[in-house]
Amino acid sequence: MATSTQAKPSTQILTYRDALQKSMIEEMDRNADVFLMGEDIGRYEGTFKVTKGLFPKYGHRRVLDTPITEAGFTGLAIGAAMAGLRPIVEMMTMSFSILALDQIVNHAAKIHYMTAGQFTVPMVIRGPGGAAKQLSAQHSHSLEGWFAHVPGLKVVAPATPADVYGMLKTAIRDDNPVIFNENPGLYGIKGEVPEDPEFTVPFGKAAVVREGTDVSLIGYSRMTHLNISAAEALEKDGISAEVVDVRSLLPLDTETIFASTRKTHRVVVVYEDWKFGGFGAEIAAKIGYDCFDDLDAPVARVGGLNVPMPYSRVLELQCIPSEADVVAAVHKILG
């Protein structure tokens, strides 16, 4: 008897960096209102080369090199968005977005509310956030938890080339301001990316990237890859770890997180941000309150040390979560 088979969607292997570039090119070709702005993104092609080749293709009217003035060009982008354009603002590092906090928090996030819906602010603020390699104390911040604290913003932190490709499209098409966090340690990783230019990944939906039964490892961005490595190490000890990639911080998919918790009854939340007050603490609090009766152990957290990031590579590695830290936390809650 003949059987029908559904054709697998066509994909290509791209780096995280190239997936970002592909997404922007397709969205700029799709919508003439989309444009880029930021420091050294044009002729220099960006510090991490994400905007390579875009200036020759689109010219200075759609790829704008800005002065070193984050508050200024972020404010300009907000005005452009209110007027109907769709700016993509690249922060050379998300650490520099601190200089534009007034524009982001007091204006971009609030204008739709304060004008009773008369204006929208469809803009994306994207760039590398988190530790890279010896970028020291002022260039290594993980600020996604700060922004996820602000009503009116959407905050995402994709971990894979496919997700960064699809989620950037979702961000550009969204009518709200989106903080798009890219960990600098991910730019070189490779993965399958759909060739469909209409492929998008919705916000507010986490992904179970590895099934398990004994413990849930919950994280986002680069920590998802760390959790997968830890799960593989734990498997050698006979421990089955489930890995949940949060992907979207605001909105947050608690349904998937809670379902994994109720399945395994033990949870370790892993995040690169400072452990004290970081976004992982919010995830842990929600699990502790809503899944209290499902837990067989307290929710464990693995986060960054509460110190300024050292320049020394040896000390830097001590400040950010490692596979060994995650494995140790799992063994502790398993008793």
| Active-site residue set | 70, 139
Neighbours of 152 (CB within 10 A): 18
Whether omega before 251 lies within 30 degrees of 0, making that bond cis, reads yes
Instruction: Say how far apart CA 248 and CA 167 lie, in whole Å.
Output: 9
Place of tokens 């903080």: 179
Tokens found for residue 210: 């590895």
CA atoms 257, 247, 300, 211: torsion sign: positive
Neighbours of 250 (CB within 10 A): 22
> Strand, helix or coil at 124?
strand
- Are 48 and 214 contacting, i.e. CB atoms less than 8 angstroms apart? no
Q: What is the CA radius of gyration of the chain?
A: 20
Tokens found for residue 200: 């998008």
Instruction: Say how far apart CA 279 and CA 14 lie, in whole Å.
Output: 29
